[in-house]
Amino acid sequence: MSNLDRQAALAVCGGRGFVVAEPVRELLSPRRVQLGESTQVRRLLPNLGRRMVGAWAFVDHYGPDDIADEPGMQVPPHPHMGLQTVSWLHEGEVLHRDSTGSLQTIRPRELGLMTSGRAISHSEESPRPHARFLHGAQLWVALPDAHRHVEPHFQHHAELPLVTAPGLTATVILGTLDGAASPGTTYSPLVGADLALTAGTETNLPLDPDFEYAVLSMSGEAHVDGVPVLPGSMLYLGCGRTELPLRAVSDAGLMLLGGEPFEEEIVMWWNFVGRTDEEIRQAREDWMSGSRFGEVKGYDGDRLGAPEVPATQLKARGRVR
């Protein structure tokens, strides 16, 4: 998915100053963002109160939307730099194309993992025909400096490890949970897991005290560490936890996001993660001039133009909310 905001706001993030070293319960409200003509998403990261959770730097939750008579998701070719994108669906399907030649339909509970490295471009669309409902999340992981210039590549994993307890099925999307590791390539210690809870379940999920965590609710009614988290909201949990109490009032779908606090300060603008103002401006120029980001073949439509970069210098400062 792309940040299609025409007035793309600058997000300066990262750095120890943002990280809460102890358990907290901080409820983050979504911001509604229009994505193209037909899709509205709820943006949880970056959020006014919090920019990152570990290396997770961007979280959009969308649907469930009835797209039976709609085109559904139509995100034209656009570039990425310095990040990985994670596509995660609960309903429907997304057809992914990218400049490395990938053409892949992503279905519910399959991992679509795109590592942009130094430069990639991709499109995402609801295939024709498509399922009636579309429901999912789109997330970005910031790449650490040592790996942010890697060759772009795309991975699709239909089989992912499960961690189970009575009433809980956790699918390990990325990283490691309770010793179970996703086959997706990671570049910093982190975890992303889908938590499916049946009504009435009370359980404790094992956590790594060195990670900071947040839980996104995708469906149902669940309490996370005693806090009711409604679909489309996210609870930031801080660090220093060895377990997380979960209680499902109804059947519920949650997403656990966590990771080692991301030490580096980054500049995030539009679809790029960089370190300096110059890098971001160069990336925009390269996209607009048609160089470096390659070509997406087969998408029926024009590629996305980049918004204007703010006139003021973009600085990688990390300690201001």
Query: Residue 74 interacts with Mn ion (CB under 5 A)?
Result: no
> Between 2 and 171, whose beta carbon lies closer to Mn ion?
2
> Between 1 and 55, whose beta carbon lies closer to Mn ion?
1
Which residues have CB under 8 Å from 45's CB, separation 6+? 28, 51, 52, 53, 56, 57, 58, 59, 234
In the complex, least distance from residue 15 CB atom to Mn ion, rounded to whole angstroms: 25
Encoded tokens for 211: 């990670």
> Between 252 and 304, whose beta carbon lies closer to Mn ion?
304
> Between 1 and 216, whose beta carbon lies closer to Mn ion?
1
Dihedral of the alpha carbons of 268, 52, 30, 21, in degrees to the nearest 10: -150
In the complex, least distance from residue 102 CB atom to Mn ion, rounded to whole angstroms: 13
> Between 121 and 219, whose beta carbon lies closer to Mn ion?
121
In the complex, least distance from residue 299 CB atom to Mn ion, rounded to whole angstroms: 13
In the complex, least distance from residue 31 CB atom to Mn ion, rounded to whole angstroms: 18
**Which residues from 45-64 bind Mn ion, rule CB under 5 A?**
none
In the complex, least distance from residue 285 CB atom to Mn ion, rounded to whole angstroms: 19
User: Strands of 31-35's sheet, edge to edge?
Assistant: 31-35, 39-45, 56-66, 133-142, 83-91, 111-115, 153-157
Peptide bond into 129 cis (omega under 30): yes
In the complex, least distance from residue 121 CB atom to Mn ion, rounded to whole angstroms: 9
What are the backbone angles phi and psi of residue 288, rounded to the nearest 5°? Answer: -70, -30
In the complex, least distance from residue 199 CB atom to Mn ion, rounded to whole angstroms: 35
Q: Count the Cβ atoms, other than its own, within 10 Å of residue 268.
A: 28
> Between 2 and 188, whose beta carbon lies closer to Mn ion?
2
Where does residue 162 rank: exposed (0-12), middle (13-18), buried (19+ CB within 10 A)? Answer: middle
The C-alpha atoms of residue 197 and residue 155 are separated, in whole angstroms, by 27
> Between 1 and 173, whose beta carbon lies closer to Mn ion?
1
In the complex, least distance from residue 85 CB atom to Mn ion, rounded to whole angstroms: 5
The C-alpha atoms of residue 15 and residue 273 are separated, in whole angstroms, by 14
Contact 214, 207 (CB under 8 A): no
Q: Which residue is nearest to Mn ion (CB)?
A: 2
> Between 2 and 186, whose beta carbon lies closer to Mn ion?
2
> Between 94 and 252, whose beta carbon lies closer to Mn ion?
94
Count interface residues toward Mn ion (CB under 5 A).
2
Nearest to 179 by CA among 204, 141, 215, 206: 206
Contact 221, 251 (CB under 8 A): no
**Which residues from 1-20 bind Mn ion, rule CB under 5 A?**
1-2
Nearest to 275 by CA among 79, 9, 14, 6: 14
In the complex, least distance from residue 260 CB atom to Mn ion, rounded to whole angstroms: 24
Contacts 24+ apart (CB under 8 A), 302-305: 302/76, 303/76, 303/77, 303/78, 303/121, 304/2, 304/4, 304/75, 304/76, 304/77, 304/78
Binding site for Mn ion (CB under 5 A): 1-2
